[in-house]
Structure 1
Amino acid sequence: MRISARADYAVRAALQLAAAHDAAPLKAEAIADGQGISHKFLEGILGDMRRGGLVLSQRGGNGGYWLAKPAETISVADVIRCVDGPLVSVRGVRPPELSYTGVAESLLPLWIALRASVRQVLDGVSLADVAAAKLPPEISALAEDPESWTNP
């Protein structure tokens, strides 16, 4: 699985918004500067997130962006899906829509298992979890495994 720059930037922007939940709306420039993201690229991402119902925006001097829902109710997967589509696809096709024959038949359950695993991790972590640096124990355990940090 590969996380695109677009997805990475979207999650980072959403985390900035989650951390500022009680403050005034954040301007795109402030988010871009705070995360070292191109302002122009971020505007497109925030537009997708607005259309996807994850953020709200207001124009003007007091305007900016804020989360449309509490950070506890938005998973990291929600953000990635909003800007990049399905979490796992094979050649742009969702695994349940695939079919294989012959010796490759057992690939389909493998891709389904991969999708289930990715969903379990990314749907199981909210923006609030990451913003508070309090990942769920099962996610922390995966990250603390030394094998998780090696490049095979």
Structure 2
Amino acid sequence: MISLKAQYALKAVLALARARPDEVLMTAEIAESQAIPKKFLEQILLDLKHQGVVVSRRGKTGGYMLRKSPDLITFGEILRIIEGPLAPLPCLSRSAYRRCEGCADEAACEIRRVFARVADANRRILDGTTIADCLAPGGQSESRNASLFG
């Protein structure tokens, strides 16, 4: 289950992606349109800024805009920025690997084998779905991801 913070981050990025490429959106504008508490949104946008997803402009006409094209931003990227590693077990993480407590042999671990399939499916969907996919007419990502399991 993803956190409310991650849901808000995705909603904010989607709102920024809907804006014109040169349009700057104020935090208050995003907060109101997406029903996100403004103070919470400010922290989320700072996290996204530090990771190079958004840029900010200061001043009276300041606000935020995407730094990268929506077709280059994946759900996986946003979730990793906000939530950290996506793997369900530490021994499956690509970015924060560590051996599970009490595990004598990863290669023989039945639990790891099952959750490795879960992690692979999650990565395939989350890293294969861009912000642009969600904004495409008819939700391009839905049909593409449905075929992964169909």
TM-score normalised by length of structure 1: 0.82
Alignment of 1:107-126 (within 5 A): 107-126=111-130
How many residues are matched?
Answer: 140
Q: Hey, what does 2:78 align to over in structure 1?
A: 79
Quote the residue 2:68 is aligned against.
69
Which residue matches 1:34? 33
Gaps of 5+ in 1: 146-152
1:150 aligns with none
Which of these residues, 128, 131, 146, is aligned with residue 135 of structure 2?
131
- Equivalences for 1:9-24 in 2 at 5 Å? 9-24=8-23
Contact residue 98 and residue 108 of structure 1 kept, 8 A:
no
Q: 1:40 to 1:115 in 2, by over 3 A?
A: same
Distance in 1 between the 2:91 and 2:33 partners? 35
Root-mean-square deviation (CA, aligned residues, Å) is 2.2
Measure, in 1, the Cα distance between the counterparts of 2:26 and 2:19: 11
Mean Cα deviation higher: 104-113 or 13-22:
104-113
Q: Percent identity?
A: 33
Distance 1:46 1:39 in 2: 10
